[in-house]
Amino acid sequence: MRHELSGIGDAFALRPVTLEDSEFIIELRTNLQLSRHIHATSADPTAQRAWIERYFARPGDYYFIIENRITGRPEGTISIYDQSADGAEAEWGRWILAPGSAAAVESVLLLYRIAFGPLDLRRLFCRTLARNEKVVSFHASCGLVDGGLLPGAFEIDGAPVDAREQYITAGMWTDVEAKLAPLAARTARLVQRRLAQ
């Protein structure tokens, strides 16, 4: 949906998706290195713009571009969506980072700040392909709770695949933020140093 939520970190920021982001989103979602763990996406810019137009009309859906604050370039996407009718719970995903991006920790930290700040969610969960062990492990290292295996939860290339659900609650948020914030700050210093060379 159209929204004005944003998040600003030391090296990265989240801003609302616009129609002008369609080509960048296609570039990310059709990258063979990245697309093996996500639903197929059309490479047609008109189709992507139409999808974004439909997204603008969906309530409870907050789609963001992850930008590098130093270069101003987009480095990924992330989203909170399917917010429950009572506003207490939502799913997050559409999390894709360009190859070589260091935005993982800070983009998730900023998303959680939005979820448990302005959106005032009680619970936020994500569903990751079970075979995507790197991302499942990342979520666990951030302090998310394992909600269990969901057999055949997704369909990739016409075949059902298992997903793993992981979640964070508002009550956990303070501890998770205390863990992620120093990691994000350290990564930001490394990004700044690298770009200054």
* pLDDT in the model for residue 111: 98
**Residue ranges of the chain with per-residue pLDDT less than 50:** none
Domains of the chain in start order, with CATH, are 7-196 (3.40.630.30)
Give the model confidence (pLDDT) of 35-56 as tens digits.
Answer: 777 877 888 999 999 999 999 9
Q: pLDDT for 122-141, tens place per residue?
A: 999 999 999 999 999 999 99
SS3 47: helix
Per-residue confidence (pLDDT) for residue 33, from 0 to 100: 81
pLDDT at site 3: 95
Residue 24: name the closest of 64, 81, 82, 80 by CA: 64
Model confidence, pTM: 0.95
Q: Look at residue 45 in the predicted model and tell me its pLDDT.
A: 92
Amino acid at 130: A
